[in-house]
Amino acid sequence: MGNLRSVERAVEQAAADARVEVSVHIDARPEAVASSDRVIVPGQGAFRALCERLAAGVGQALREHIASGKPYLGICLGLQALFESSDEAPGATGLGLYAGAVRRLPDGTIDVATGTPVKVPHMGWNRITLCRRGAGPLAIYDDAPPFVYFVHSYHAVPDDPSLVAATADHGPYRITAAIQRENVTATQFHPEKSQAAGLALLGAFLRG
């Protein structure tokens, strides 16, 4: 949904760095998802448009991919799609793999630490805080949680807080920076824009 080529290049670079042989295909056909060993769902776009694509068949293929135990990595919109709904698109239905909703960061809030308005969209580098160690590919950050790059106005709020693997602070807001459970990892930040830290995460996903 907008940043496929940059993700493809980052995956290829991460594979080379990790000495992992991969064949990367940009393909949203259900049969392509079904035949893939690993799936990455990135996104810079609208939640409603993504939900329309999911309803066209690829959504069921993604559910079956995840249910089979194959690795899934969601990036930005690819994280938000795992939930039931989003403030961005009332009535649109996500994959619903996890209970919870995607909420908009409020406009106009004043950061008491600086006395200035908190900017939304949230754009830029933030250090993440890990909620638990050993969270799948995110375990690459266990010893030194890095600064990573965010571009978003919405973030996931799971009903089950144990799903959250990492957070980041933006003014007074605590953002869901990543979720992880079993074979599913998803980040609100963009690994493909996060330089060495992002490539390390992609490499861990490819190796795992």
Tell me the per-residue pLDDT of 140-195, one tens digit each, with 9 for 90 and over. Answer: 999 999 999 999 999 999 999 999 999 999 989 999 999 999 999 999 999 999 99
Residue 12 confidence (pLDDT) above 90: yes
What are the extents of the domains in the chain?
A: 4-207
CA distance 73 to 188: 11
To the nearest whole number, what is the mean pLDDT of the chain?
Answer: 94
DSSP codes, 56-120: IIIHHHHHHHHHTT--EEEETHHHHTTSSEETTSTT-----SSSEEEEEPPSS-EETTTTEEPPS
CA distance 208 to 199: 14
Give the pLDDT band (50/70/90) at residue 2: low
Residue 1 confidence (pLDDT) above 70: no
Check residue 53 and give its pLDDT: 86
CATH, domain range 4-207: 3.40.50.880
Check residue 50 and give its pLDDT: 87
Contact of 172 with 109, CB cutoff 8 Å: yes
Active site residues: 76, 190, 192
Structure tokens at 64: 């079956």
